[in-house]
Amino acid sequence: MPVYRTLGLLLCLFSILSAETSTPLWSRGYSIVPSPQRVQLDGQDVVLGTSWTVDAGPLGPRHIAARTLLRDFESLHGLTLKTGGGDASIRLSIAPGTVITGGDKEIDRQGYRLTIRPDRIEITGNAEEGLFYGVQSLLQLARWSADGRLTVPRAVIEDWPSLQLRFLHWDTKHHQDRMETLKRYLDWAARLKVNMIGFELEDKFEYPAHPVIGAPGAFTTAELQKLVDYGLERYIQIVPNIQAPAHMAYALKHPEFADLRSNGNNYMANLCDERSYDLIFSMYDDVIKATKGLGYFFVSTDEIYYAGDDPRCKEPYNPVNRSLKWAEFARRAHAFLASRNRRMLAWVEYPLLPEHVKLLPPDIIDGVMGNPEYMETENKLGMRQLIYTSLQGEEKLFPNHLDLGGEYGVSRSRLQDAFDAISGGRVWKANPIGVFGAAWGDSGLHNETFWLGWSAVAQYGWNRTAAPVDQHIAEFLSLYYGPHAENMGEVYRMLQLQARAWQSSWDRVRSRERGLGYAHWDGRKGVGDAIKWDMTMTPPALPSLPSLAHQPSFSEKYRNHLAKLPELIVENDRLVLALQSNLAKADRNRYSLEVFLSLAKFAGHKWRLMAGLSEAEKSFAAAQAAHTQKKPKLAANHLLAAASRVKTLEADGVKTFRDLVVVFEKSRLPKGQSVGERKFVHIFDDTKDHWADRTPDLGYMMAPERSIRLGDWQKKLADLTAGYAKQNNVPARQLTGELEEE
């Protein structure tokens, strides 16, 4: 079945399976993401125009709510409004108790009422946060009608969040975003009523007490504080997440800290050495000084599998002592942060034993809520939790946002998983305070690929049951790219299909790089037990002299993938054209489309490469046939034609990758850059299979193709061709690559 027909059927099936009813606003053609809690519509519309004014009252026109309203009406809708009173005005005010939420005081602060009438729009927040969120809702409601008028529905909307904290995850282990990029992310997070960012810094901060840890070009104290202040003005806390005591290769790789490595491995700090605590807490202190105004700190107690695993430890390394050492670290980190007025969030997870949960301070927030055996104790302690949902696992190029109906093994949508995780019953047996939308950078995905998933976490963290998943996809894509972008749902699906096809078309082989089994969930293993995997491909086997005999190994090994190539190439062309078209049509976030276009072309190069290698193998068969027919000049030129084709494909790969790097680095600093005399220290992390950690630069994207060693293959083919020509007295002047009959 052609891909475009398959896509259409899958889209229909997706809509059928998402059986929830569309929200009243969406049924009227209006949209707010996230969906509001309570909406009253009377079926009429209100027309907005230049005669409308913004009246911020005592708050004044410089208040962030007023500035956002004025700026975004112009930038999103092309409408310039004036400030002050008038016959038709948008009035902003704060009145505690306007909306009764039934939640705690922090949820109450985020409530608002939006009343829309023909000559007056009132946005009233229970507090400043609520007013700001009400402004975001009005901005999203405005739409251009078919007759060219900017309208909003006559309505009364009362709204508040289901959960107090709504985290998006910025993982910068393997890249560093530019400052203007992160500010744009904050603006869009604010539009989605997000109020928390989990900022996984690793070496992207300068750490003044230990400057060797910060990568060249890392954020300075002043820069990080400036970013935090920008977020706070928009009611978003950028909560630092410091990987420690595990996943500490970014620090422990430096010789200065070699003695702190647990059992000699740079994956984890030795928790039996007091100097490890000194290092970790001094890093905490550096970051706290650069993030004034925040109330939280994320302690990354992630995968601490080797707590107490060192010959210098007094107690034996076993599950009980390991768990106790985990709890000891958590208690000491909590005490340190409490002395600095920061509430601690942590990954409360294995290898902590259920019987040791009671040892934790009760005001810790469990950031993962992953173990049902912990819940009873956490409930008794009064501990709060975050509902954790992952928007990315090991997917390369693009996440599995959508259900592909089993194609390439994808039968679950990460968006549906997010909906199920947040709205499901089990998590509500605990006492969740928020939601955490994890977007791990292990596979090196560009952050623009995460926005659909991030938006789903924002949606269901605010209103956990309102909008069906299929409706949310349509609403977000319209919001993010504007109403003129076309078929963006299909673009996402095609891009995901291309990414899964690209990933599955490589061989998965054991890596030449092996560690000692660190980061294994059940303790340190021996060599060979912690296998890393590489992606590669075996090129066509070269013919052998003197008869040019060969085996069609490439076509045999990759038969199934080659059979799909015609369809994948057609689909890739359609995807590229759709993205190019939308670059002209999208009202906003065109850079996102540039990123997708670079990925589509990157995948398209793979299909050209496979097709070209298959054709090269056919040239070998033709060369053998020519030799059998005693046409050595023709045979030699078939060999040259194969070499020329592969050389052209290799150059195509270099250009495609170079173009991708240019696009990625519009929003990021160069990966692994040097600054002045400071060089980036890259040590292949032999403890985790992080694809993006394979190279100091973006070269990991090309690592599978580079592993083929096409240059070496071409040299061997050139030597073979020269040898064959010499054996058969074919003059060099006749080796033209032109396939003329003799």
Q: Does residue 390 register a pLDDT over 90?
A: yes
- Residue 122: strand pairing partners: 91, 115
Q: What is the pLDDT of residues 299-313, one digit of tens each?
A: 989 899 999 999 999
Share of the chain above pLDDT 70, in %: 93
Q: What does the DSSP assignment read for 289-346?
A: HTSTT--EEEEE----TTTT-STT-SS--SHHHHHHHHHHHHHHHHHHHHTTT-EEEE
Q: Does domain 165-476 have CATH number 3.40.50.10190?
A: no
Give the model's confidence band at 3: pLDDT under 50 very low, under 70 low, under 90 confident, else very high: very low
- Residue 265: strand pairing partners: 262
**280 touches 240 (CB < 8 A):** no
Structure tokens at 314: 């007094």
Beta strands in 428-549 (DSSP E): 432-438, 507-510, 533-536
Better pLDDT: 16 or 39: 39
Q: Does residue 449 register a pLDDT over 70?
A: yes
**pLDDT at position 742:** 62
d(C-alpha 736, C-alpha 556), whole Å: 30
Q: Does residue 14 register a pLDDT over 60?
A: no
Give the mean pLDDT of 315-340.
97
d(C-alpha 371, C-alpha 541), whole Å: 51
Q: What is the pLDDT of residues 125-142, one digit of tens each?
A: 999 999 999 999 999 999
Structure tokens at 188: 């869009």
Whole-angstrom CA distances from 174 to 256, 257, 287, 687 are 22, 21, 19, 15
Count other C-beta atoms under 10 Å from residue 731's C-beta.
8
Alpha helices in 234-302 (DSSP H): 249-252, 274-289
Reduced to 3 DSSP states, what percent helix, strand and coil does the chain have, rounded to the nearest 5?
A: 45, 15, 40
**571 touches 464 (CB < 8 A):** no
d(C-alpha 702, C-alpha 710), whole Å: 12
DSSP state of 535: E
d(C-alpha 429, C-alpha 426), whole Å: 5
Q: Does residue 6 register a pLDDT over 60?
A: no
d(C-alpha 249, C-alpha 267), whole Å: 5
**pLDDT at position 733:** 84
Q: What is the mean pLDDT of the chain?
A: 92
Give the model's confidence band at 194: pLDDT under 50 very low, under 70 low, under 90 confident, else very high: very high
The H helix count followed by the E strand count for the chain is 21, 20
Maximum Cα interatomic distance, the chain, rounded to a whole number of Å:
96
Question: Which CATH code is given to the segment(s) 38-159?
Answer: 3.30.379.10
Give the mean pLDDT of 548-559.
96
Give the model's confidence band at 520: pLDDT under 50 very low, under 70 low, under 90 confident, else very high: low
Q: Does residue 427 register a pLDDT over 80?
A: yes
Give the model's confidence band at 426: pLDDT under 50 very low, under 70 low, under 90 confident, else very high: confident
Q: Are strands 365-366 and 89-94 parallel, antiparallel or unpaired?
A: unpaired
**pLDDT at position 60:** 95
**pLDDT at position 108:** 97
Q: What is the pLDDT of residues 562-602, one digit of tens each?
A: 999 999 999 999 999 999 999 999 999 999 999 999 999 99
Residues in the chain: 742
Burial class (CB in 10 A: 0-12, 13-18, 19+), 425: exposed
Min mean pLDDT across 36-40, 52-56, 455-459, 512-516 is at: 512-516
Q: What is the pLDDT of residues 698-707, one digit of tens each?
A: 999 999 999 9
Domain boundaries, the chain: 38-159, 165-476, 542-673+684-734
Q: Does residue 57 register a pLDDT over 90?
A: yes
